[in-house]
Chains A and B, each alone.
Chain A
Amino acid sequence: GQNIDQPTEMTATEGAIVQINCTYQTSGFNGLFWYQQHAGEAPTFLSYNVLDGLEEKGRFSSFLSRSKGYSYLLLKELQMKDSASYLCAVLNAGNNRKLIWGLGTSLAVNP
């Protein structure tokens, strides 16, 4: 079957660093996405990884290991506005660009 696992909830402190993990088991793989979704709003694109390694984009970085079926999103210098749900999604190869979505990780940043 196809499965994506993420922790349900995480809590962190303003100014700290937090790592959100995502593991996946899919029949094909054509890249992994991270999206941010604030409550009641639409998801917004954060990152896309298709090759192994770390991609850095400002305060946010995303890492991929295809052999381990594993990714993480790293958020540095946390701000209160980073409180949101973070969604991991895998693009299944040859599947007409359909995404397989995880349930999301709800991150609460406390002062």
Chain B
Amino acid sequence: DGGITQSPKYLFRKEGQNVTLSCEQNLNHDAMYWYRQDPGQGLRLIYYSQIVNDFQKGDIAEGYSVSREKKESFPLTVTSAQKNPTAFYLCASNGGLLEQFFGPGTRLTVL
């Protein structure tokens, strides 16, 4: 089955700790995206990558970092510099078609 996986579904961390969220896809898509969603808010783009070994900042990149060493993987690190990291994080990808396909999301809670 082709798709996007994110793990874990729920993640708890202490304030001041860095945490890495996993995103893997086996759809052979070139482009991958990370979004953050807060209650009552739309999706806000954190980082995106059009191709392996290349990525660009989105609208709210401060306090986050990414890597794209493999086509299948686009992990997101939430650093201690992110002031308010508690949110629902969504990873997405697209290939030749224009629509983005989403993973199930990771709900991060910082205590």
B82 contacts chain A at the CB level, 8 A cutoff: no
> In the complex, which residues 66-111 of chain A have their Cβ closer than 8 Å to any Cβ of chain B?
87, 89, 91, 96-99, 101-104
Closest A residue to B40 by CB, please name it.
A103
B99 touches A45 (CB 8 A): yes
Contact A43-B94, Cβ < 8 Å, known A96-B50, A99-B100, A101-B42: no
Instruction: Tell me the chain B residues, 76-111 only, with Cβ under 8 Å from chain A.
Output: 88, 90, 94, 98-105, 107
Q: Please, how many angstroms separate the alpha-carbon atoms of A41 and B90 in the complex?
A: 9
A42 to B61 CA separation, bound complex (whole angstroms): 21
**Is the C-beta of A44 less than 8 angstroms from some C-beta in chain B?**
yes
Which chain B positions have C-beta within 8 A of A104? 42
How many residues on A have C-beta within 8 angstroms of the other chain's C-beta atoms? 22
How far does the Cβ of B44 sit from chain A's closest Cβ, in whole Å?
8
B65: interface (CB < 8 Å): no
Write the residues of chain B forming the contact surface with A, with a CB cutoff of 8 angstroms. 31, 40-45, 48, 50, 56, 58, 88, 90, 94, 98-105, 107
A residues neighboring B (CB under 8 Å)? 4, 30-31, 33, 40-45, 48, 87, 89, 91, 96-99, 101-104
